Amino acid sequence: MERVPFDIEGLDRILFGGLPKYHDISICGGPGTGKTLLGFEYIYRGALRGEPGVFISLVENEESILENMKATFKNWKDIDKLIENGKIFIVKPESLDVLALADILEKHIIDHKINRAVIDSATVLRTTFSEHSKYRQTMQELLSLIGGLKCTTLLTYEYPSYERNNMTFSVEQFIADGIINLYNLQRAEKRVRALEVVKMRGTRHVEELVPFKISASGLEVYIGEKVF
Ligand SMILES: Nc1ncnc2c1ncn2[C@@H]1O[C@H](COP(=O)(O)OP(=O)(O)OP(=O)(O)O)[C@@H](O)[C@H]1O
Ligand SMILES: [Mg+2]
């Protein structure tokens, strides 16, 4: 199986090399758990490899995403250059329509040869449907379209909890090829960030909770270390 690496060392080790190519992966977590940062780092690291990617933001506008990423990842001096050179695209669609989203993806794949994409936050799409069955069907169509487009895609989903034992799953997680959960766990007087791969169709992966940190150089994933 071909892999798409994050180029985040610990994370790639958990995934035995990276994400299965052309799969769609759900990144799930509570507010501030690092979903947007992980998504952007995935696009950034791909761009450094010469693989163009699109970051589709359904919540924040382009300027705000860029501003936040630069503020957090201070050691990345080349974000603007990668955007200028057509390696990173940040797009805020005008409408939240799933079909419009599919169009944006398709256009970037054809015009800019992107093979990495992030949809942040895909939770927003649900609000455009009043009927659950229609939502499920449309999401399934979107994911199969993405798969057919030869693009390895992360979709972020907002969860109402930081804790592992409160995680619940809904339709998005069942139809996704893979799931990575991000947590901000309560430990005594502090919180500890941790992540876990709970599903990855077609590949083995490490099955444990792994601590991580957000640093100015990117996410640091400490495989083999206990979460205290
Ligand atoms: N320089 C930094 N060093 C350490 N942690 C940081 C730094 N910059 C941001 N953070 C942490 O990252 C969090 C933001 O991460 P991110 O925006 O990816 O969260 P998110 O899961 O997308 O949240 P939301 O669901 O609200 O969009 C901040 O709340 C903060 O805790
Ligand atoms: Mg976010």
Mean pLDDT of 209-226: 94
Q: Whose CA is nearest to atom 9 of ligand 1?
A: 72
pLDDT at 164: 82
Indicate the pLDDT class of residue 160, thresholds 50, 70 and 90: confident
List the beta strands (DSSP E) in the chain. Answer: 3-4, 19-20, 24-29, 53-57, 88-91, 116-120, 152-158, 178-187, 190-200, 210-215, 218-221
Q: What is the dihedral of CA 64, 5, 98, 196, to 10 degrees?
A: -90
Ligand 1 neighbour 184 (Cβ under 6 A): no
pLDDT on residue 194? 96
Residue 224: pLDDT band with limits 50, 70, 90: confident
Any atom of ligand 1 within 6 Å of the Cβ of 214: yes
Whether 122 is in the pocket of ligand 1, judged by its Cβ within 6 Å, is no
Query: Residue 98: what pLDDT?
Result: 85
- Is the C-beta atom of 29 inside 6 A of ligand 1? yes
pLDDT value, residue 226: 82
Q: Which ligand sits nearest to residue 75's alpha carbon?
A: 1
Decide: helix, strand or coil at residue 117: strand
Choose which residue among 72, 76, 212 to substitute to test ligand 1 binding: the one with the highest number of ligand atoms within 8 A of its C-beta. Answer: 72
CA of 35 to the centre of ligand 2 (A): 5
- Residue written as token pair 């936040």: 68
Average pLDDT over residues 21-33: 95
Which residue's CA lies nearest to atom 5 of ligand 1? Answer: 214
The CA distance from 225 to 154, in Å, is 26
User: Distance between alpha carbon 179 and the CA centroid of its chain, in Å?
Assistant: 10
- For residue 156, the cross-strand partners are 27
Q: What's residue 96's pLDDT?
A: 87
Looking at residue 126, what is its pLDDT? 87
Upstream peptide bond of 121 is cis (omega within 30 degrees of 0): yes
Query: What is the identity of the amino acid at 225?
Result: E
Nearest-CA residue for ligand 1 atom 30 is: 32
Residue 128: pLDDT above 90? no
| Pocket of ligand 1 contains residue 32 by CB under 6 Å | yes
**pLDDT of 228 above 90:** no
pLDDT of 69 reads 98
Question: In the structure, what pLDDT confidence band is assigned to residue 123 with cuts at 50, 70 and 90?
Answer: very high
Name residues whose C-beta falls within 8 Å of residue 58's C-beta, 6 or more positions apart in sequence. 92, 93, 96, 119, 120, 121, 122, 124, 125
* Domains in the chain: ranges and CATH: 3-221 (3.40.50.300)
- The share of the chain scoring above pLDDT 90, in percent, equals 74
**Confidence class for position 187, pLDDT limits 50, 70, 90:** confident
Q: How confident is the model at residue 166 (pLDDT cuts 50, 70, 90)?
A: confident
Task: Tell me the per-residue pLDDT of 65-95, one tens digit each, with 9 for 90 and over.
Answer: 999 999 999 999 999 999 999 999 999 999 8
- Please, which pLDDT band fits residue 24 given cuts at 50, 70 and 90? very high
Structure tokens belonging to residue 99: 């079909």
Residue 220: beta bridge partners?
213
- pLDDT of 99 above 90: no
